[in-house]
Amino acid sequence: MSAEAADPGAPLRRRSRPRIDLRRLGRVALRGPVSRDRLPDAISHVAEAHRAHHPDADLTILRRAYVLAESSHRGQMRKSGEPYITHPLAVTLILAELGAETTTLTASLLHDTVEDTEVTLDQVREKFGDEVCYLVDGVTKLEKVDYGAAAEPETFRKMLVATGNDVRVMSIKLADRLHNMRTLGVMRPEKQARIAKVTRDVLIPLAERLGVQALKTELEDLVFAILHPEEYEETRALIAAAKSPDDPLETIADNVTHTLRDAGISAEVLIRPRHFVSVHRVRRKRGELRGTDFGRLLVLVGEDADCYAVLGELHTCFTPVISEFKDFIAAPKFNLYQSLHTAVVGPEGAVAEVLIRTHRMHKVAEAGVVALGNPYAQDPAAPPQTQPSDERADPTRPGWLSRLLDWQESATDPDTFWTTLRDDLAQDREITVFRTDGGTLGLPAGASCVDAAYAQYGDGAHTAIGARVNGRLATLSTVLSDGDTVQLLLAQDTASGPSPDWLDHARTPAARIAINGWFTDHPDGAKPDPETVGASSPGAQSEPSSEREAPGAAAPARSRSGPRPTGVVVDDPNAQVRLAGCCTPVPPDELTGFVVRGGAVTVHRRECPAVTAMQEIGRAPVGAHWAVGEGRESDAGCRVTLVAESFGRPRLLADLTEAIATADAAIVSATVEPPSEQRVRHTYTLRLPDAAGLPGLMRAMRDVAGVYDVSRAQHPAPTG
């Protein structure tokens, strides 16, 4: 089936295969089976399509399934007036043309028997085995809830669960909906519109996510015709008017064919007409359509490497439109899609979009998960399955589907489920981010570190305090890009909870539902602010912090209480010496000093920003160094100002002060700046008994959960 056929109802077939008349098939079906050694005429078309993809398929089971379906549905009619058997035949033919394996086709023929006839699941199991029974049961469960405004959420919740257990269930459901949409004209307009809207909001996004582009594009066109009939007719007229023997795409296709042949590359060059919705989107984007906007070139090759060889030739022999290049081979889409996209300028400036892929990539691009065959087929050498049939794991299950299955269990409210489902399906692009342990996380585009935290840790992410993205510290609100490496940082305090503003940054249903669930369980509300602005630590001394000195200050120097630093020597032996509070130097820092008003010399670390500022205004430095053999402030100890950068969390201030006390440091003063984007800056002026203990103190502070950096102060310390 063509994903981009100009006729939305036209399946992709070999040119020699005639168009199939489903009404005629229905009349043939009523005649029943023919001779025992050949398939009935009505099912022969399915067999032909199936053998095109699976030449060695055993068609016996298909014959038996058709006989049961035809006899069971005999006498039943569709609303269109056709014999009911035409419907399972049409659904099965759709799947056969997509390349579905025999088990799926067998279940498709029988998918309405248990629902609408006297046939039981036990009979299906007895005649066709557990796999077919499992699929028929899955599809039947989707049909048991009537479609309606109130029933839709529960219907699609069941659909999700059934799809998660076996993606083939959804394949049958999508083909079922496609045939129903093809024959929707017999229903009342209001019912057509309601079914079309549900198809647009849920089934088309699911088809996209399962990679079944052939179904998705035809469904899009059918929905377009129902919900936007005027625009649909305008688009139809434009496509009809564009048909011309002088098609510019034909000229470019011929040039591409000759170019690749001359380069020795074996390739098939085809023109792919855009489907109606695609043409409509291009028209809205560009305004006026060009002659090449009604289709794209498709280049099919044998191997992956040939794709890049074709790309190189096209970009060498034609002028490429670089902004149109995308490599979905190196980085496949979340729905298995692989292809190279580019655009080249042909004769007279005509621009043609080009898709380059292997034949296998093309099959997957058209059929998605349907092309995967039976993902549950057991290796004969493998041990038998011990899991119950309704809990088996699908090794090919897309990551997005696993996420939907996880959060749907938590979304007990139907309205929440329905709204969240639609929002999630509206995300049409997925990114992959890497964990530091080598694993990966699949997330929708626009996801933040909040989403990554809940995707990796579930409810454990309630204690998240920050992240490292590509090795750099980042807040939880940081939006992630495809290919980022993310390390989530969690607090040790398991009683911590999320912050309300996390909901502003959460894009995934799992994150939003988990956060809302936490607040439901904790009605007292939000995670408290990490610290009170300007709070002082318990037990902090009341003496003021080191005095700060603005460069070039005109105020007279204030004498500092406490003993003179005996370990510092300056070039003026008679000057009073004091250590600058802005950088609080300690051995073995390199020193320099400046004379301030009153004749005192204030000593700074050489890398202190105040030193540069002093020199820029012409202040002459005074030589200063540590006295030989002296590395401490004698009995007074040494004073230092440290800045701790951290992610906010409860008890952070208490844990930091405990770490400081354990290192035998006394807190002279402590200030906490207002939190900004979940980051908090603490500034501590401390007195240590010995400068040699400074590295150990800084290590102890960095080891506190949530603290990502501790440094010496490089700016004036605020007064206490």
Question: Other C-beta atoms within 10 Å of 710: how many?
Answer: 22
Tokens of residue 94, six digits = 């759709």
d(CA 39, CA 60): 8
Q: Could you say which DSSP state residue 186 is in?
A: G
Strands 485-490 and 464-469: antiparallel
Strands 601-605 and 591-595: antiparallel
**By C-alpha distance, which of 516, 500, 518 is closest to 508?**
516
Tokens of residue 33, six digits = 């089976």
Catalytic residues: 115-116
Mapping DSSP to helix (H, G, I), strand (E, B) and coil, where does residue 676 land?
A: strand
Tokens of residue 241, six digits = 């008017």
- 376-412 as b/e, with b when 16 or more CB fall inside 10 Å? beeeeeeeeeeeeeeeeebeebbebbebbebbbebbe
Q: Could you say which DSSP state residue 326 is in?
A: E
Question: Other C-beta atoms within 10 Å of 658: how many?
Answer: 15
Cβ proximity of 265 and 309 under 8 Å: yes
Q: 3-class secondary structure for 407-440?
A: HHHHCCCHHHHHHHHHHHHCCCCEEEEEECCCCE
Q: What's the full length of the chain, in residues?
A: 720
Instruction: State the number of CA atoms in the 13 A half-sphere of 168 facing the CB.
Output: 29
d(CA 291, CA 245): 12
Tokens of residue 670, six digits = 């402590």
d(CA 527, CA 648): 10
Query: What separation in angstroms does the CA of 592 have from each of 313, 483, 542, 717?
Result: 65, 47, 30, 19
d(CA 719, CA 141): 71
